[in-house]
Amino acid sequence: MPKLAANLSMLFTEVDFMDRFQAASAAGFDAVEYLFPYAFSAQDIRAQLQKHCLVQALFNAPPGDWAAGERGIACIPGREEEFRAGIATALEYAKILGNTRLHVMAGLMPDNIDQALATETYVSNLRYAAQQVKEAGLTILVEPINDIDMPGYFVNYQEDGAALIDEIDEPNVRLQFDFYHCQMMQGNVLSTFRKLRAYVDHVQIAGVPNRHEPDVGELNYRYLLAELDKDGYAGFVGCEYKPLAGTVDGLHWINKLT
């Protein structure tokens, strides 16, 4: 049985963010993840984690101006100082919250910027981030995101994510393998996962194509997650989907895994 983490940016949105920890625990989750913690005190979040006996699986580094449509700045030349400040902030939160994984969003491909320059900027930034968090025991995660949901995102294919990891060449940079994004972009999710297994440090799931509960759509997660168990994957599986109706009413899919 996989270790499921509730993504609190998408699940339990019926209540305020700080109340979602209790809701996740009451629903049977032992771990949580979410996009960003920075609107809240790290100490207050830690108190919720401790009160409800939850593990913090991961969160994202600051993405630039999210409200204005930015989806990370790692590939954007000229934003290096802002990127470095964001990594410092994320590291301070991680030290308090106890997670060992930090997802760094690549960003949207800048207009009028050569692909080679964007790649050079991204690789340099991720290498810096990895070196900064290494002593604290953190792993930096690269996540390919499909260009249907996020047009213009810098890295879309799982193999491209692995190639970037090779170029960054830091031992604490790994792959965040999202089955939803993989299926939306290229299919062959299990064979792709197995091909890149050595890179993978975190998994996320959602139904395809509408990103609802994992038992809704074209992927058989009962089979897929059982195969991950057979393959020896022992990391977290983040439940990053949009409930069709209420979060709790939709959790019946978990019972189908066994």
The one catalytic residue among 33, 218, 227, 240: 240
To which residue do tokens 């168990």 refer?
229
Q: Which of 229, 230, 225 is nearest to 254 (CA)?
A: 225
Q: Would residue 135 show up in a list of annotated catalytic residues for this protein?
A: no
CATH code that applies to domain 3-256: 3.20.20.150
* Each residue's pLDDT tens digit, 78-101: 999 999 999 999 999 999 999 999
pLDDT at residue 258, rounded to an integer: 66
CA-to-CA dists, residue 216 to 14, 164, 186, 256, angstroms: 21, 32, 19, 12
To the question of pTM greater than 0.85 for the whole model, the response is yes
Given a cut of 90, whether residue 1 has pLDDT beyond it is no
The answer to whether the beta carbons of residues 244 and 209 sit under 8 Å apart is no
3-class DSSP string for 116-150: HHHHHHHHHHHHHHHHHHCCCCCEEEECCCCCCCC
To which residue do tokens 């810096």 refer?
128
Q: Which two tokens stand for residue 99?
A: 């997670």
Confidence band of 54 (pLDDT split at 50, 70, 90): very high
Q: Which two tokens stand for residue 85?
A: 């400040």
The answer to whether the beta carbons of residues 215 and 207 sit under 8 Å apart is yes
The percentage of residues in the chain with a pLDDT greater than 90, rounded to a whole number, is 97
Distance of CA 21 to the CA centre of its chain: 18
Residue spans of the domains in the chain: they are 3-256
Confidence band of 256 (pLDDT split at 50, 70, 90): confident
Q: Would residue 14 show up in a list of annotated catalytic residues for this protein?
A: no
Kind plus residue range of the DSSP H or E element containing 222? helix 221-230
* Each residue's pLDDT tens digit, 188-200: 999 999 999 999 9
Please give the Cα distance from 191 to 178 (Å, whole number): 14
The one catalytic residue among 33, 80, 120, 143: 143
The percentage of residues in the chain with a pLDDT greater than 70, rounded to a whole number, is 100
